[in-house]
Structure 1
Amino acid sequence: MLGLLNDLLWGKVLIVVLISLGLWFTIASRFVQFRYFGKMFRILSTNQAFKDDKYGHLSSFQALLLSVAGRVGGGNIAGVAVAITLGGPGAIFWMWVVGLVGMATSYFECTLAQTFKKSEPDGTYRGGPAYYITRGLGKQWKWLGGLYSVLLLITFGFGFNALQSYSVATSVNDAFGIPTYYTGIALALVVGLIIFGGVKRIARVAEVLVPVMALGYLGITLMVLGLNAGKIPDVFMLIVKSAFGLEPAIGGGIGAAILLGVKRGLFSNEAGLGSAPNVAAVAYVPHPANQGIVQAFSVFIDTLILCSCTAFIILLSGIYDPATIADQGGVALTQTALADHVGEWGRSFVSVALLLFGFSTIIYNYYLGENSLNFFSGENQNIYNAFRVAIICLCCWGAIMDLGTVFAFADVTMGFLALVNLFALALLFKTGLRIMKDYDQQLASGVRVPTFDAQRFSDLNIDASAWELEPEDQQQRQSGTSEAVVTTGR
């Protein structure tokens, strides 16, 4: 039954719905992900973007790293290898396509998460699909927000955290011979130290961990590209030709290339699932569209950069042979390919990369679970602490169990999670366009850094306190300049 539901949801329904809505969002927004691509880098242009706010807010850069921590995971290493094995090199082309389209979907879901966020006493914010469903669609839709929160808690808070622990423990065991239960215990201890510190500590860990793991993986790929510079044009041509059936059938042919490329792309970047908006809402930004633009960039990082890294490592290697590639799959294929380029230490590098990717995803998944609990219970520390203890136990349990059934169940709940979020996005799309046009109009009128005036949107159920500028920013706004906002990178 789980297999049939998975095939129906991910093989037919969700692929059509996600691609259709992504194209609709892209065209109706006048290709927002491309119009503002340059602005995605602006958050990285100031030193202050990397520093904590003195009022307790999290920066847009920290929210970006939190979302990248979740998007980047085993799918970037194992998932891409599976796509090439079953769908051929053409699957990578369709993975790129779904990533580019998904950037628009991510823009709107994260913009809406910012618009309808609520402020907390400690200077942080809460938000996400459950909040924009309830606030944006009205109280009569609160049941849908509750359903989304339950699915989010089951899928990411419990199911995928156990699965990530299993992936990390088995990878370490394969590479270094360390028993899985030792890895599970160590993982539980480290995760416990982080999650009991709340979202601020999670953000600080992400600030260090995400750049290290992403840049490290990108660095090894650049080394591979340098060693095989002459083959790069041929690999590009192979990917494009295979995508349109212009090469001899590899894997399952053009149909499998499209199916696997789209499916693995969606699994990897999560655009449309509603998971990333939960962390996008935590940032202190001058305008909701600002964070929408930044979060679209996280999809680009995940799919267009890091997934491509794995693809080129495999396709440029001497072990890539369409006739025998089906004998390998997942992490093993990536490990063997990298070892062919740099030597046997490449196998250990892939295992360490998977360890870091999996660890970052666990702390991200924890926050998604905490955010879903907040929707029902508010800032109830007893419930939070009970959930934290449960996560620590899951890290130990997941490391030593065969989780095939759990994985299949989590896939089904994630499918329904996506459908709920996409339904809400379709209903709230006009609101998203209205927020985007406000941003566009301010830029067109010469405003360097557009700001969001909640009073101008009094017909929307917005928490006005979440959009109160801090004293220095308010002073600069009243004086007619935006210099304070510019210098802090907000």
Structure 2
Amino acid sequence: MLDFLNDILWGKVLIALLITVGIGFTLASRFVQFRYFGRMFRILSASQAFKKDKHGHLSSFQALLLSVAGRVGGGNIAGVAVAITLGGPGAIFWMWIVGLMGMATSFLECTLAQTYKQAEPDGTYRGGPAHYIARGMGSKWKWLAGVYSVLLLVTFGFGFTALQSYAVATSFGDAFGVPVFYTGIGLAMIVGLIIFGGVKRIARVAEVLVPVMALGYILVAGFVLALNIERIPDVVMLIVNSAFGLEPVVGGGIGAAILMGVKRGLFSNEAGLGSAPNVAAVAYVPHPANQGVVQSFSVFIDTLIICSATAFIILLSGVYDPASANDIGGVALTQAALAEHVGEWGRSFVSIALLLFGFSTVLYNYYLGENSINFFSTENQNLFNGFRVAIIGLVCWGATTDLGTVFAFADVTMGFLALVNLIALIVLIKPGLRIMRDFDEQIADGIEQPVFDASRFADMNVDAAAWEIEPEDLEKINQRRSTPVPASGETIL
């Protein structure tokens, strides 16, 4: 049954919806992910990106790092190797396509998450797909928001937490001979110390951990590329030719390349799943599109940089042989490939990278689970503490258990998660474009930092309390209030 559902979801339905949303919003937004690519860096380099407001909300930069902590995980190391093993080098091309289109999808979902975020009694924010479904699609769709929250809790809060723990423990055991039980205990203790401090403590850890782990991995990959610089064009051609069946058939041919590229690409960068919007919504930004732009960049970091780094490490090595690609796969393929380039310490480096990537993802998964529970209850502290204890137990259990069935089940629930979110994005594409056009118009008017005036969008059921603008931004809003805003139906293209 799990295999049947996976085939239906990933082989047909989700590919069609991902293409519809990714390409559709790319065209409707006039290629927003490329138009504002340079602005991604300007937003992040601005002092405002690092600033917390008076309530101590996460900064835009902290939200970016927390989302990167979630996007960058085992999929960037083991998942890329699996995609190459089963789909051939051509799977990387389709992973790139998913990443480029996913940048637009991430812009849309994270912009909507910011737009429809909700102010909590303590002054913090909550948001994500459950909130933009309930507020944006209307109260009659609140049941669908509830379904999404349950799927998010089951998939990320439970399933993927155990899977990341398993990947970390087994890799660490292979590299250093540490029994998985002890790795699981140690990982659970550290995770427990962090998650009981809430999202702010998780964000502080991500601020330190994510740059170290991502830059370290990229630097090693850059060293490998430098050693093999003359072969890089050949590898690029191998990837492109394999994507269109112009190389000897590997695995299941073109179909397998597309399927594995789309599936592993989505699993890695999560664009369209609706997971990152849960984090994107908690930051203070002057305009929702700001966070959409920043979160597009996190997809670029994950897929176009880190996944590509793993792919080139593998394809530039002599370990990978298309004729016998199934002989070695997963993280072992990445370890063997890097060891061939830099020596045996490369195996240990991959294990340490997987440990850091997996650890950061466990923290991210915890927050997604907490946000799911928060949709149903915000005041039952015993419920949240119980969930934290359950996460610690899952980390221990996952490290010591064969999770083949869990992985198949999580793939199915992730598929349904993506299905619900992609349907919501299709329904809400008009409000998303309306918010983007407000951002575009302010840029065109010469306003370097656009500001969101919630009073101009009252018809969209926006929570005005969540858009209490900082004093330095109020002046910009007052300058625009005298300008009429078009009706929602007049703002589309």
Per the shorter chain, which TM-score range?
A: over 0.9
1:235 aligns with 235
Correspondence 1:410 to 2:410: yes
1:124 aligns with 124
2:489 aligns with none
Matches of 1:318 and 1:58 in 2, distance apart? 45
Matches of 1:47 and 1:234 in 2, distance apart? 42
> Helix, strand or coil: the match of 1:41?
helix
CA drift at 1:423: 1.1
Which stretch has the larger CA shift, 48-57 or 401-410? 48-57
Say whether the 8 Å CA contact 1:58–1:124 is kept in structure 2: no
1:16 aligns with 16
Matches of 1:310 and 1:394 in 2, distance apart? 28
Matches of 1:118 and 1:45 in 2, distance apart? 27
Matches of 2:319 and 2:170 in 1, distance apart? 24
2:185 aligns with 185
Matches of 2:48 and 2:185 in 1, distance apart? 37
CA drift at 1:123: 3.8
2:485 aligns with none
1:485 aligns with none
Alignment of 1:214-229 (within 5 A): 214-229=214-229
Say whether the 8 Å CA contact 2:187–2:395 is kept in structure 1: yes
Alignment of 1:191-202 (within 5 A): 191-202=191-202
1:483 aligns with none
CA drift at 1:15: 1.3
Say whether the 8 Å CA contact 2:44–2:294 is kept in structure 1: no
Matches of 2:404 and 2:84 in 1, distance apart? 22
1:315 aligns with 315
Correspondence 1:6 to 2:3: no
> Helix, strand or coil: the match of 1:458?
helix
> Which amino acid is the alignment partner of residue 368 of structure 1?
L
> Which amino acid is the alignment partner of residue 470 of structure 1?
E
Matches of 2:476 and 2:272 in 1, distance apart? 36
Matches of 1:469 and 1:48 in 2, distance apart? 13
> Which amino acid is the alignment partner of residue 291 of structure 1?
Q
1:453 aligns with 453
1:401 aligns with 401
Correspondence 1:358 to 2:365: no
Say whether the 8 Å CA contact 1:111–1:291 is kept in structure 2: yes
Alignment of 1:138-217 (within 5 A): 138-217=138-217
Matches of 2:411 and 2:260 in 1, distance apart? 16
2:490 aligns with none
Matches of 1:88 and 1:121 in 2, distance apart? 52
* Structure 2 segments unaligned to the other structure (5+ residues): 481-493
Matches of 1:131 and 1:391 in 2, distance apart? 24
CA drift at 1:43: 3.0
Matches of 2:465 and 2:194 in 1, distance apart? 29
2:341 aligns with 341
Matches of 1:247 and 1:60 in 2, distance apart? 44
Matches of 1:409 and 1:7 in 2, distance apart? 13
CA drift at 1:320: 2.4
- Post-superposition CA distance 1:17-41 (Å, at most 9, x none): 1112211111111111111111111
1:382 aligns with 382
2:439 aligns with 439
Say whether the 8 Å CA contact 2:77–2:331 is kept in structure 1: yes
TM normalised by structure 1 equals: 0.95
CA drift at 1:254: 2.1
CA drift at 1:479: 8.0
2:33 aligns with 33
2:463 aligns with 463
1:102 aligns with 102
Could you say what the CA RMSD is over the residues aligned between the two structures, in angstroms? 1.5
> Helix, strand or coil: the match of 1:375?
helix
- Post-superposition CA distance 1:400-432 (Å, at most 9, x none): 111111111111111111111111111111111
> Which amino acid is the alignment partner of residue 21 of structure 2?
L
> Helix, strand or coil: the match of 1:299?
helix
CA drift at 1:98: 1.0
Matches of 1:364 and 1:97 in 2, distance apart? 25
> Which amino acid is the alignment partner of residue 34 of structure 1?
F
Matches of 2:363 and 2:88 in 1, distance apart? 33
> Which amino acid is the alignment partner of residue 238 of structure 1?
L
Matches of 1:110 and 1:476 in 2, distance apart? 23
2:56 aligns with 56
2:268 aligns with 268
1:42 aligns with 42
* Structure 1 segments unaligned to the other structure (5+ residues): 481-490
Alignment of 1:297-316 (within 5 A): 297-316=297-316
> Which amino acid is the alignment partner of residue 297 of structure 1?
F
CA drift at 1:249: 2.1
Say whether the 8 Å CA contact 1:49–1:61 is kept in structure 2: yes
Matches of 1:174 and 1:48 in 2, distance apart? 44
Say whether the 8 Å CA contact 1:374–1:380 is kept in structure 2: no
1:113 aligns with 113
1:279 aligns with 279
Which stretch has the larger CA shift, 55-64 or 239-248? 239-248
Matches of 1:399 and 1:239 in 2, distance apart? 34
Alignment of 1:76-95 (within 5 A): 76-95=76-95
1:486 aligns with none
- Post-superposition CA distance 1:172-219 (Å, at most 9, x none): 111111111111111111111111111111111111111111101100
CA drift at 1:2: 1.1
Matches of 2:158 and 2:293 in 1, distance apart? 30
Matches of 2:128 and 2:271 in 1, distance apart? 13
Matches of 2:433 and 2:457 in 1, distance apart? 13
> Which amino acid is the alignment partner of residue 254 of structure 2?
I
Matches of 1:403 and 1:88 in 2, distance apart? 25
Matches of 2:438 and 2:476 in 1, distance apart? 20
> Helix, strand or coil: the match of 1:56?
coil
CA drift at 1:45: 1.4
> Which amino acid is the alignment partner of residue 236 of structure 2?
F
> Which amino acid is the alignment partner of residue 45 of structure 2?
S
> Which amino acid is the alignment partner of residue 461 of structure 2?
N
- What is the aligned residue count? 480
- Post-superposition CA distance 1:124-164 (Å, at most 9, x none): 21000000011111111111111111111111111111111
Matches of 1:4 and 1:373 in 2, distance apart? 30
1:250 aligns with 250
Say whether the 8 Å CA contact 2:53–2:470 is kept in structure 1: no
Matches of 2:44 and 2:112 in 1, distance apart? 23
> Which amino acid is the alignment partner of residue 163 of structure 1?
L
Matches of 1:134 and 1:46 in 2, distance apart? 33
CA drift at 1:95: 0.8
Matches of 1:51 and 1:439 in 2, distance apart? 21
Cα 1:474–1:47, aligned 2, differ >3 Å: closer, same or farther? Answer: closer
> Helix, strand or coil: the match of 2:246?
coil
